[in-house]
Structure 1
Amino acid sequence: METKDQKKAYLYGLAAVLIWSTVASAFKIALSYMEPLQLLFYAVAFSTLTLLIILIVQKKIGQIAQMSISNILKCALPGILNPFLYYIVLFKAYSLLPAQEAQPLNYTWAITLSLLSIPLLGQKLSTRELAAIFTSYLGVVVISTHGNLLNIQFSNGFGVFLALLSTVLWALYWIYNTKSKSDPLIELFLHFCLGLPLVTIAMLIFTGPPPIELPAVLSAAYVGLFEMGITFALWLKALKLTEKTARISNLIFLSPFLSLVLIHFILGEEILPSTLIGLLFIVGGNIIQQTGRK
């Protein structure tokens, strides 16, 4: 049993949040060099290698060797959702939308999770959760219409659809994993082991081999290392060290606002007032939902 250390938990948690705040900008930079499937190929390859190294360092790789083939396949199956389908949809959304729109829209996944929990897990929605859903999706409308609520026209309807679809895929991925008792880092590694060949086949069929120029490879490597690999391990470490999960999970609310600052200074996007207002609604909905949980 790992000893609790709240200061270290905050350090690991803040490190994860700070890194996650950079990935929206990293997505757009990498997508300027390559197609979404090519970016996903590089990112999943680098992430799989990173997770393998982490498991070796933590001396967990032997646990996989002790698993039966059926258990390995069972653990690997969610790889169809993540990284394969989820990131294909998410990267395509980022290629169609400004980062300041795609990032907050993707942040509604927790609300989508509540909605899908009704038919899939048999859960019921409270009045508080209904208020959270309404508040968050009002923010979605504000962002995707640039605040023009009287004459609703989406800035890019297909891009908005894909960003919201990514939240469905991500929520389905977490619902699928709710009953799993395996080590989450081992599970994620197995998901990526299955996802990598699927991504490779899709890339070769639809876009061809990825570019090999150094800036393209480095930008994709950053996405793989920090969106999918190292940051997940940091977050898990923070959750293990914290005295109370809520103290760490609430740090995630910093991420979308920090991300907007970086989007402005790194990508040069002018942050629209509608983006800030919409993001406040989305985060507000998430907070309403969180405060209603025991």
Structure 2
Amino acid sequence: MKNDQRALLLGLFAVLLWSTAATAFKLALGELSVLQLLCVAIWVSAAALLGTLAWQGRLGLLWQELRSAPLGFLAMAALNPLLYYCVLLAAYDLLPAQQAQTINYTWAITLALLSIPVLGQRLGLRDWLAIGLGYFGVIIIATEGNPFSLTFTSGVGVLLALGSTVIWAVFWLLSARSKGDAAISLAAYFVCAAPVSLLLCMIWGGGLPPPGGALASAVYVGLFEMGFTWLLWSTALRLASNVSRVGNLIFLSPMLSLVFIALILGERIHPATLLGLALILPGIVLQQRSPKLEAP
């Protein structure tokens, strides 16, 4: 099979797995606390990533990386997966899945805003139009189609969902400067986060969860939302001769996710969610296609 065909298949598989994440989050949170889900998912993901590196014969490189900058990896692990997923899962705990997943999808627009103070970039008219479209879409979704009422299903949940986009964008900006191997760095973050997540779970999360369907959902999240799917995605991008062709597959994810939410969770997809998504997606496309100006 040619590299481009493999890249497309791996990219489609990664998008399909990510599309099930919102449903898995809600199924697990029906019985588990946020910290219980976080702990199980991080440990499972760390094990999967370590197993992958062991199979590739690269575990030694991981320990070299950890020894070279332990505090740096701890700091990055504190951002992601610990803080990012803690905030995101708390949002899912308070909001309907369709709202939380669609609002979280605005992280690319948040990234454009953060590029102003962090990278010193100037945003053009197209960027500001993208940002306006995206966040107006968020308001429509969060108010269920009554944007001028500012009455939310959960105001705290909306703030948490938006906060998760800020955390992810900061993490992305910091990790983009790294010169190391992406798979090894990702494994290092989860290895550093695992013992901390266990401590948080035992102290404030209610202890380790019992066996059952919710635990199985947490294991699924760890395998197919957090670490392993990122490896599939990064491999797809690496194999592709045209990165944008694979990268554009990610736009399938929110629509597929709504299908799973409706079929498995039984949520009625509100027309406002579709309208908001119809504003957010063009906003992301506009932002990605906007020419980037040099820092002043």
Provide the rounded CA distance (Å) in 1 between the counterparts of 2:159 and 2:225.
22
Are positions 1:245 and 2:217 aligned together?
no
Q: Which of 179, 194, 204 is 1:181 aligned to?
A: 179
Structure-2 residue corresponding to 1:47: 45
Provide the rounded CA distance (Å) in 1 between the counterparts of 2:58 and 2:71.
18
| Unmatched segments (≥5 aa) in structure 2 | none
Provide Cα deviations, 1:37-72, integer angstroms capped at 9, x if missing partner.
000000000000000011112222121244472324
Structure-1 residue corresponding to 2:116: 118
Aligned residues of 2:73 and 2:192 also touching (Cα < 8 A): no
Cα offset, 1:112, TM superposition: 0.6
Structure-2 residue corresponding to 1:274: 272
Task: With the length of structure 2 as denominator, give the TM-score of the two structures.
Answer: 0.95
Provide the rounded CA distance (Å) in 2 between the counterparts of 1:40 and 1:149.
33
Provide Cα deviations, 1:248-287, integer angstroms capped at 9, x if missing partner.
1110000000000110000000001000000111111001
Structure-1 residue corresponding to 2:88: 90
> SS of the counterpart of 2:49?
helix
Q: How does 1:1-294 map to 2 (within 5 A)?
A: 5-67=3-65, 69-293=67-291
RMSD: 1.5
Provide the rounded CA distance (Å) in 2 between the counterparts of 1:110 and 1:67.
29
Aligned residues of 1:5 and 1:241 also touching (Cα < 8 A): yes
Cα offset, 1:155, TM superposition: 1.5
Aligned residues of 2:33 and 2:206 also touching (Cα < 8 A): no
Q: Which amino acid aligns with 1:198?
A: V
Cα offset, 1:293, TM superposition: 4.7
Aligned residues of 1:4 and 1:242 also touching (Cα < 8 A): no
Q: Which amino acid aligns with 2:16?
A: L
Percent identity of equivalent pairs: 49
Moved more, 63-72 or 84-93: 63-72
Aligned residues of 1:4 and 1:243 also touching (Cα < 8 A): no
Task: With the length of structure 1 as denominator, give the TM-score of the two structures.
Answer: 0.96
Aligned residues of 1:93 and 1:159 also touching (Cα < 8 A): yes
Moved more, 258-267 or 124-133: 124-133
Moved more, 147-156 or 64-73: 64-73
Provide the rounded CA distance (Å) in 2 between the counterparts of 1:98 and 1:66.
43
Q: Which amino acid aligns with 2:92?
A: Y
Provide Cα deviations, 1:217-265, integer angstroms capped at 9, x if missing partner.
2111000000012211110110111011111111000000000011000
Provide the rounded CA distance (Å) in 2 between the counterparts of 1:293 and 1:187.
30
Cα offset, 1:73, TM superposition: 3.6
Provide Cα deviations, 1:124-157, integer angstroms capped at 9, x if missing partner.
1121111110010010010001111232211210
Provide the rounded CA distance (Å) in 1 between the counterparts of 2:205 and 2:72.
30
Provide the rounded CA distance (Å) in 1 between the counterparts of 2:65 and 2:153.
48
Cα offset, 1:206, TM superposition: 1.3
Moved more, 177-186 or 60-69: 60-69
Provide the rounded CA distance (Å) in 2 between the counterparts of 1:46 and 1:26.
15
Q: Closer, same or farther in 2 for the Cα pair 1:139/1:63, shift >3 Å?
A: same
Moved more, 146-155 or 63-72: 63-72
Provide the rounded CA distance (Å) in 1 between the counterparts of 2:4 and 2:83.
36
Provide Cα deviations, 1:12-44, integer angstroms capped at 9, x if missing partner.
000000000001000000101110000000000
Q: Closer, same or farther in 2 for the Cα pair 1:4/1:186, shift >3 Å?
A: farther
Q: Closer, same or farther in 2 for the Cα pair 1:36/1:237, shift >3 Å?
A: same
Q: Which amino acid aligns with 1:219?
A: S
